[in-house]
Amino acid sequence: MERILITGGGGFIGSHLARYLYSQGYFVRVADIKYDDYIEGKYCSERLELDLRISQNCLKATEGIDKVYNLAANMGGIGFITSVFADIMHDNVLINTHMLEAAVQNKVKRFLFSSSACVYPNYKQTTSDVPGLKEEDAYPADPNEAYGWEKLFTEEMMKSYQIDYGVDIRIARFHNIYGPEGTYKGGKEKAPAALCRKVAEVSDPGEITIWGDGKATRSFCYIDDCVQGVLALMESGYDKPINIGSDRLISIDGLADMIIDSSGKKITKKHDLSAPEGVKGRNADLTLVKKVLRWEPQVSLEEGMGNTYRWIGMMVKKDRGG
């Protein structure tokens, strides 16, 4: 059985991926600088607490490993990536550089990098009624914030290591992955989790604040679908960037209304026009991934958001000592 390393295994996507692979009988090593308290149960074979910005730690993590899912990153939602720039660039470039070098030295058979829809140009995301972004749309480059530039740079570094050192690479461009057991408070949470927390915390009846005018649009992919997409990519022979996401576009107001309906509360919305909201619209074109991987999302947004709201509601209640 193959030996798997998942960096960022203490976080959202990494822990879900690790749990699935571990349940299938693989040896799964996870490595992260910290581990979320709400990851429950045994979900890996070995857990290492390592700062992967340090090259020796990357060598330790990859020792004896066949396949690497490199998900470790300093990242967060729009509030975080529009206020932190140097640390994101510094930390993530170090992690990805040292991990690729360690993979070469330890003769890792295959290496997957978690890229992002933030690599896509701002000039293609200026309206809410936006067409799906195709993989080739990444150039000419104008990524979203420093985080997007770092991801696009690492994609190019992946290609360079493939050319010079023969690394067998895979590149997944994630589009707004959401679900239970993700960050929902503290400033690094993304829109679905932030909205779920606000709705869970507010009284009934009550009012929540939406960042921006609520008209910005996104597509959201449920974590279980994401895991299956990543696995399909890793086991495929496809070595170029590919979208892992959904092509169902919804406004932030529409997403908030869906969560409010799920809660059963009577809640009104107000808008903070001074808050960051990112690009006006972002959607994924799934033409390539459907053709190459025969993958597409299976969980509806209604079902996924319902699951996410119930989990965050439980966590909010727990935080209050209930």
Which residues, including other chains, have CB under 8 Å from residue 300's CB and lie 6 or more apart? none
29 and 44 Cβ atoms separated by less than 8 Å:
yes
* Distance from C-alpha of 151 to C-alpha of 146, rounded to nearest angstrom: 9
* Distance from C-alpha of 97 to C-alpha of 57, rounded to nearest angstrom: 12
State phi, psi for 158 to the nearest 5 degrees: -60, -45
116 and 152 Cβ atoms separated by less than 8 Å:
no
Total Cβ atoms within 10 A of residue 235: 12
Which burial class, exposed, middle or buried, applies to 204 when counting CB atoms under 10 A from its CB (0-12, 13-18, 19+)?
exposed
Of 26, 43, 147, 309, the active-site residue reads 147
**Max Cα distance, the chain (Å):** 61
Pull the structure tokens for residue 285. Answer: 């074109």
Pull the structure tokens for residue 279. Answer: 């690009």
- Pairing verdict, β 267-272 and 217-218: unpaired
- Pairing verdict, β 169-174 and 217-218: unpaired
Residues linked to residue 5 through DSSP beta bridges, in sequence order: 29, 68
Cis status of the peptide bond prior to 205, with omega within 30 of 0: yes
Q: Is 123 a catalytic residue?
A: no
Pull the structure tokens for residue 136. Answer: 């080739």
Active-site positions read 147
